[in-house]
Amino acid sequence: MASIRTTKPAKRWEVVAPSDVSALASELELPPAIAGILIARGIRTVEAAQVFLHPSLNDLHDPLLLRDMPIAIDRLRRAIAAGERIEIHGDYDVDGTTSTVILKTAIGLAGGRADFWIPHRVKDGYGMRESAVDLAAERGVKLIISVDTGIRAAAAVNRARELGIDVIVTDHHLPDQTLPAALAVVNPNRLDCTYPEKNLCGAGVAFKLAQGLIETLGWPKDKRDRMLASFLKLAAIATVADVVPLTGENRIIVSHGLRGLAHTRNPGLRALLDAAGVPPGRAPNVGQVGFRIAPRINAAGRMASADEVMQLFAADGDEKARAIAERLTRLNTERQDEEARIIDEILLDCEGHLPAELPAAFVFAGEAWHRGVLGIVASRLAERFCRPTVVLGIENGEAAGSARSIRAFHLLESLESMRHLFVKFGGHRQAAGMTLETARVDEFRAAFAGFAASVLREEDFVPVQRVDAEVRFTDINNSFWRQLSRLEPFGMGNSTPVLMARGVEIVSEPEVMKEKHLKFSASQGGRVIKFKAFGFVERAAEVFRGALVDLTFQMEADDYWGGFCTKVCDVRPAS
């Protein structure tokens, strides 16, 4: 029987070692290790480093550089001036709901009024729907704007045209071979768009439309800047939640947006931050957004209706906002319980059934699996097995679900190669969704594993630990932490740096925490540092007192004691 991974696996270390860091370290007065991290991330000059270390709103790109943006702004302004009914069609996740709030608010500030339609994940499924367009026509809607969706909604767009409704598509997902026949398609990833930032999330694209609209209103610059700063708070949450690279324009959005959250006045957003344990006056970090704030927003669309998120941000009083935020917290707990149940069911079924040589990719399918959590389940299993993974929920002869990938595998390309199997599908390199007939699940499983086997190598199935810099324990202090923190915000494309220390001696017996984690102290060069090792309980034998090891670790803010804490990434016998 193949073993089921239940703990942190050993990884293949890739050590980044820039050859000449002295010039940059000297010019910027940085420790050599941090200068090396910048160089390894493509930041090789003082000028580039200054831009990176000091993200400025002045470096945001002109929204008119986006293909079809002038057409979109012109049509939107005409609709506002004529008092036409406008409807925003969004998605039910963090990116979709925040996009909807940003654009709805911008239209209101410009003197118009926009309603919204967000599909119910279970009842309606993903994306723009022809049925929703029909209902919009009955309500007298003359302009539909999609946010974080629509790039593959050709049928819904065509239906709108038949009914005399103009459509503006704003999206960031990869387009199909043919764009939908909308009045305007604003998407940095369309092939004929030369916009400099290709990695905007849906809320990022919605923000650019809001920015373009606001800049036509003739307001003083300080008023424009205040409005755009308020939009950046939600755009930052979505950018982190959608796991797009935190480089370029996204870095600016997240840097300024997170700082703005320290002083938010919106009752719903304040209640959400309170529920997530972020006190007033303190900006959340990327980890708090990704693991506390975003999951609460997502829980509404996953477990109930995303309309509750819209109600939260529209709440006009603290009491109402707190009540909704508390409900989102309860829904998030239900979401976590449902994820655990499905993962346990899958792993229990795997026991004794997996071949000694695992397939190159997995497709798991089951009935009574809540479709709202399948993407997260797929992500957990892809990490556990280090293989592309699809998780499908079966209901009424239809299988629908989500896929998550590993670094070396392009999900959307794989699905494109077997598009005949699907009722619909879409996504990008690392995440995708699909719907197919239940009768074709076995065919899909074989085709998906076969495609993966044809492009992946054996080493792709071993988790990779990128090591950004080698340090000595004597380097690690509060000054080093402050300098390292200047590289924030960390996330996709600018990951939290992984540091390596060689020849470290474990000087305490590992202490078990919550039956899963370890805590121990290690010494090097007379300096002792305390470490936490999450998910390492089954590797306790590797960190016994007196052991000499190499450690990789990350430094993180210590929310409780201030300063920094150190978290183990991997461990191996001293080299």
pLDDT in tens, the chain (575 residues): 334 444 566 788 998 877 789 999 999 999 999 999 999 899 999 999 999 999 999 999 999 999 999 999 999 999 999 999 999 999 999 999 999 999 999 999 999 999 999 988 767 777 899 999 999 999 999 999 999 999 999 999 999 999 999 999 999 998 988 999 999 999 999 999 999 999 999 999 999 999 999 999 999 999 999 999 999 999 999 999 998 999 999 999 999 999 999 999 999 999 999 999 999 999 999 999 999 999 999 999 888 889 999 999 999 999 999 999 999 999 999 999 999 999 999 998 887 677 778 899 999 999 989 988 999 999 999 998 999 999 999 999 999 999 999 989 999 999 999 999 999 998 888 889 999 999 999 999 999 999 999 999 999 998 888 999 999 999 999 999 999 999 999 998 899 999 999 999 999 999 999 999 999 999 999 999 999 999 899 899 999 999 999 999 999 988 777 789 999 999 999 98
Burial class (CB within 10 angstroms; exposed 0-12, middle 13-18, buried 19+) of 561:
exposed
Q: What is the pLDDT of residue 427?
A: 83
Identify the three-state secondary structure at position 195. Answer: coil
Strand partners, 139: none
- Phi, psi (rounded to 5 degrees) for 406: -110, 175
Element (H, E) at 225: helix 221-241
Distance between CA atoms of residues 77 and 83, nearest Å: 10
Identify the three-state secondary structure at position 145. Answer: strand
Q: Identify the DSSP state of 9.
A: P
Distance between CA atoms of residues 469 and 496, nearest Å: 12
Distance between CA atoms of residues 299 and 309, nearest Å: 9
Q: What is the pLDDT of residue 352?
A: 67
- Phi, psi (rounded to 5 degrees) for 491: 170, -160
Q: What is the pLDDT of residue 372?
A: 85
CA distances from 322 to 237, 267, 293, 294 (A): 19, 8, 14, 16
Strand partners, 506: 522
Strand partners, 499: 469, 553
Q: What is the pLDDT of residue 2?
A: 39
Distance between CA atoms of residues 380 and 38, nearest Å: 30
Instruction: Find the angle CA(6)-CA(8)-CA(13) to the nearest 5 degrees.
Output: 145
Does this model's pTM top 0.85? My answer is yes
Q: What is the pLDDT of residue 563?
A: 85
Q: For residue 243, which of 189, 299, 200 has the smallest C-alpha distance?
A: 200
Please state the separation of Cα 469 from the chain's center in Å. 25
Distance between CA atoms of residues 525 and 256, nearest Å: 40
